[in-house]
Amino acid sequence: MASLRQVAEDATAVLLLLLLLAGLRVLPPSTAAAAAADGGGVLRMKHSSGGGYSYNSTLAHILVEYASAVYTSDLTSLFTWTCPRCKGHTKGFEVIEIIVDVENCLQAFVGVAPDPHSVIVAFRGTQQHSVANWIEDLFWKQLDVTYPGMPDAMVHHGFYTAYYNTTLRHEILKSVQWTRKTYGTLPINVVGHSMGGALATFCALDLSVKFGSQEVQLMTFGQPRIGNPAFASYFSEKVPRTIRVTHQNDIVPHLPPYFPYLGEWTYHHFPREVWLYETIDGNVVTRNETVCDDSGEDMNCSRSVYGTSIADHLEYYGVTLHADSRGTCQFVIGATNSAYSNIHEVDGAIILSRYPQEPHTLEYM
């Protein structure tokens, strides 16, 4: 009996491995899969996506630094913008609020940037498990929540609740509102890497609905797919000023897999992808940036290669995008510092902010 069970377990393991490999190769380059593609899976845009919004490489080089800085676990140096990653193009940035959802291991900040003169909202990617574990889990994510008000639009429960059912959403909306009241009605740039890109997506959608589509721009780096074709279509209508950057063989944009023949029952990216890749010819490295089509699943972009690399996931535009302390959900707050006038704990989240909070919140220190 024992050996039979062993055989069965081995067989299951092999099957899982094969499925996983199939997932890693999500839609190989130039195959029939794509050509045949897209009976049901293709995006049906009501009007041309983007509304003339185009990729700005200079802007991307700036915004990626915010997506990197939000990984900083020393909250004091992050708040005062003196952390090692708080340099370069982001000089002069003023943090308004940092939110650390300790229970769910999420981190985000809101602040005001001199260039582009705007409100920046940045989300950290996953830190709780090793990145490899998180990526493995991605393969199995189900489309299991209907996006409110959009009967056909399905998304993944975990991504959805990480934004909508945590302290993040409430704090970010409040902070953005306060900032725009205090600093003037600035446009809003929402950024995030990896899982943070998924959170940034829901946030940009939320802010667009609240403040208007023309007020909000989204740029994500190495984000996974988060919803079905109907969600992608709805999203790009609401947040036309969106750039989704992918890098070379980064595995994450290939997950969860896209199966064209599954119609609305598959994940589907929204546009517009910009695919970064390097070509090495002898000693010469050429960095290329391809602006992809408005389908969301352009065959000539990241889908033209295998999603095989974690290293490519952790670096965009030469900037490192991962936690400074690996594998744990940590944060550090230095001695009480007058820079943040308020530190609070709300529903298991630590909040550092520059403006007074509501009276019911507890003083943390």
**Of the listed pieces 15-23, 42-50, 57-65, 72-80, which binds ligand NAG according to CB under 6 A?**
57-65
Q: Is 116 in the site for ligand NAG (CB under 6 A)?
A: yes
Q: Is 300 in the site for ligand NAG (CB under 6 A)?
A: yes
CA 248 to chain CA centroid, Å, is 17
CA gap 75, 124 in Å, rounded: 13
Quick one: CA torsion of 298, 302, 306, 310, rounded to 10 degrees?
A: -150
| Tokens encoding 363 | 């003083």
Return the number of the residue (198 or 299) whose C-beta is nearest ligand NAG.
299
**Of the listed pieces 169-177, 193-201, 282-290, 329-337, which binds ligand NAG according to CB under 6 A?**
282-290
At its nearest, how many Å lie between ligand NAG and the CB of residue 6? 38
At its nearest, how many Å lie between ligand NAG and the CB of residue 300? 4
**Of the listed pieces 121-129, 167-175, 216-224, 285-293, which binds ligand NAG according to CB under 6 A?**
285-293
Q: How many residues interact with ligand NAG (rule CB under 6 A)?
A: 15
Figure out which of the listed residues 130, 290, 330, 337 binds ligand NAG, where binding follows CB under 6 A.
290
Return the number of the residue (58 or 177) whose C-beta is nearest ligand NAG.
58
Q: Is 40 in the site for ligand NAG (CB under 6 A)?
A: no
CB 348 within 8 A of CB 285: no
At its nearest, how many Å lie between ligand NAG and the CB of residue 66? 12
CA gap 279, 266 in Å, rounded: 32
- CA-CA-CA-CA torsion sign (288, 293, 294, 295): negative
Q: Is 288 in the site for ligand NAG (CB under 6 A)?
A: yes
- CA-CA-CA-CA torsion sign (310, 313, 315, 321): negative
Place of tokens 């945590």: 166
Q: Is 283 in the site for ligand NAG (CB under 6 A)?
A: no
Return the number of the residue (349 or 352) whose C-beta is nearest ligand NAG.
349
**Of the listed pieces 204-212, 231-239, 250-258, 283-291, which binds ligand NAG according to CB under 6 A?**
283-291
∠ CA 121-108-147 to the nearest 5 degrees?
Answer: 75
Interacting residues with ligand NAG (CB under 6 A): 30, 56, 58-59, 62, 115-116, 161, 165, 279, 286, 288, 290, 299-300
